[in-house]
Amino acid sequence: MSEDMVRLDYSYCTAEAVGQNGFSDADLDRIGKDAALMLDSVLPEAKQGKPGFMALPFMTDDELDPVLKEAGRLKDLADTLVVLGIGGSALGATAVDMALAGSLRNSFARPHGCMRLFVADNPDPRSFGMLLHNLDLNRTVFNVVSKSGSTAETMAQFMVVMEMLKNKMGWDKAAQRVVFTTDPEKGNLRLIAQKEGDFRCLEVPPDVGGRFSVLSPVGLLPLAAAGHNIKVLLSGARAMYERCLNPDFSSNPAALLAGLTVEYMHSARNILVMMPYATDLFGLAQWFAQLWAESLGKASDLDGKEVHAGQTPVAAVGATDQHSQLQLYIEGPQDKLVLFATLDDMGGDIPIPGLFQDIDSISYLGGASMGALIKSEAKATQAALAQQKRPSLNLRLPRLDAHCLGQVLFLLEAATLMAGKLLRINPLDQPGVELGKVLTYGLMGRKGFEQEAKRMAEIDFGGKRLV
Ligand SMILES: O=P(O)(O)OC[C@H]1O[C@](O)(CO)[C@@H](O)[C@@H]1O
């Protein structure tokens, strides 16, 4: 196995490590048999690039060219890019940018040729207002990302931004500072681009759902503008694609991850905590939370039988959350599986100076390093969980670079699809989020949603009993 490979360590899911809450060899054989059936249905389609996210790692230079050209054009115009999008149209760019440029990336100047990247994913007037107030519009461009082109939050942000830009520089110049990433044919952004003419557009492939779109222009444009090597990101995803198409369950990391987590779901481990031991991977945990929650949380199975499937994802970060959530994970209800992510090479280390040698309780730190400390904490936490018979998995990344991250993104997407197949639900739709959306339309007075407005008047209990 190449040294560049991301590995899945499932040692802490075995009976040897966590007793009755782990799997024996016989259990693993059984899980493998179910997974083999699942792979029989997934692999032929995956080889055809289906569902659409499976084909993204294989984008050709011709397909990437418009993305790279647009990133270059934006960089010529400005030094700051603001993405307006929400959910799958926002979380992927944040996850990768945070991982590669660091959590503090917007607090300091970026290297030459790398745009500052803000992802404004919430129509919260306080935070969005503060961002707008502090932007120099002459040095800022905007990427409006919405596959549907109808998401209220994103369209509202776009309208606010467009009005500001128009007032400052006139419509034509304003439009040059805005690029849309949207469906190739449908939706309001496409309509506006066709009508108004001046807006550049990149395409979200119609068969790629929002939460699976990080490796499409949705994520690639902002990431290229921020200076990340999107070709290397895709090469990592390609390397993982090959491994996820392995029909042998025990060598296929996505099938293993899906098979083990689904087995734990069947034994009432209803919560999946993703806890990377790297501050800069917190965005990845938040991206994964949408992927896992929206894909697997379903009322009915493929036969229409009510199942209420799913596993609640929690985004945590080590070592920080050892001092906040870990007590619950170690001693609370036996309803959790923890998915750690660790870095073999932390990407730099800081030696701890040998001060205070006369204080025994801290003198051991002197001469060690921060890297050694956080790595020991990750190991110790997994072992401590296991002592209390709490299972966990660990995604081991050789280092935090574009190639490894491409592997991780693809692995988690493939595992999510496979988990959905094992659960016999549709992991690619999200019918449950519709009701809240249409009721909001009713409240906001959207034409055609008068019934929803009425319905809201009947079911809105908020504020009826206040203390
Ligand atoms: O890209 P769009 O169409 O604006 O959708 C944004 C997000 O909204 C959802 O449809 C859920 O409301 C997600 O699946 C999606 O990622």
Domains annotated on the chain, with CATH: 7-45+233-423 (3.40.50.10490), 55-228 (3.40.50.10490), 434-460 (no CATH)
Q: Is the CB of 211 under 6 A from ligand 1?
A: yes
Residue 271 φ/ψ, nearest 5 degrees: -125, 130
User: What does the alpha-carbon distance between residue 393 and residue 399 come to, in Å, rounded to a whole number?
Assistant: 18
* Atom number, ligand 1, closest to the C-alpha of residue 182: 1
What is the rounded CA–CA span in Å between residue 145 and residue 204? Answer: 9
Span from the CA of 289 to the centroid of ligand 1 (angstroms): 14
| Cα–Cα separations (whole angstroms), residue 301 to 284, 310, 426, 450 | 28, 11, 7, 32
pLDDT along the chain (467 residues), means of 10: 89 98 98 98 98 98 98 97 98 98 93 96 97 97 97 98 97 96 97 91 97 98 98 98 97 98 98 98 98 98 98 98 97 98 97 97 97 98 98 98 98 98 98 94 96 95 93
Q: Find the DSSP H helices in 125-214.
A: 125-134, 152-169, 171-176, 188-196
Question: Per DSSP, which regions of 51-126 are E strands?
Answer: 80-84, 116-120
| Residue 437 designated active-site | yes
pLDDT tens by residue, 286-308: 999 999 999 999 999 999 999 99
Cβ of 153 less than 6 Å from ligand 1: no
Q: Return the amino acid letter for 373.
A: L
CA of 186 to the centre of ligand 1 (A): 15
CA distance 18 to 330: 13
Write down the pLDDT at residue 197. Answer: 74
Among residues 112, 133, 195, 323, the one annotated as catalytic is 323
If one residue of 121, 145, 148, 286 were mutated to test the ligand 1 pocket, choosing by the most ligand atoms within 8 A of its CB, it would be 148
pLDDT for res 1:
62
187 lines ligand 1 (CB under 6 A): no
Catalytic one of 294, 298, 413, 421: 294
Ligand 1 in contact with 318 (CB < 6 A)?
A: no
Query: Would you state the pLDDT for residue 198?
Result: 84
- The CB density around residue 11, as the number of other CB atoms within 10 Å, is 14
**86 CA distance to ligand 1 centroid (A)?**
7
Is the distance from CB of 218 to CB of 287 less than 8 angstroms?
Answer: no
> Please, are residues 133 and 76 in contact by the beta-carbon 8 Å criterion?
no
Is 122:128 a contact under the CB 8 Å cutoff?
A: yes
CB of residue 154 inside a 6 A radius of ligand 1: yes
C-alpha dihedral (122, 127, 131, 132), degrees to nearest 10: 80
242 has catalytic annotation: no
Active site residue 294: yes
Instruction: Give the residue carrying structure tokens 């926002």.
Output: 90
| CA–CA gap between residue 422 and residue 259 (Å, rounded) | 7
- For ligand 1, whether the C-beta of 294 sits within 6 Å is yes
Which residue is closest in CA terms to ligand 1's atom 7? 87
AA letter at 212: F
- Give the separation between CA 91 and CA 218, rounded to whole angstroms: 10
What pLDDT score was predicted for residue 105? 93
Half-sphere exposure for 71 (CA within 13 Å, toward CB):
24
Burial zone of 176 (CB within 10 Å; 0-12 exposed, 13-18 middle, 19+ buried): middle
Global pTM?
0.98
Q: What is the mean pLDDT of the chain?
A: 97
CA nearest to 396, candidates 91, 11, 54: 11
CA distances (Å), origin 20, targets 109, 261, 276, 336, 405: 52, 16, 26, 15, 34
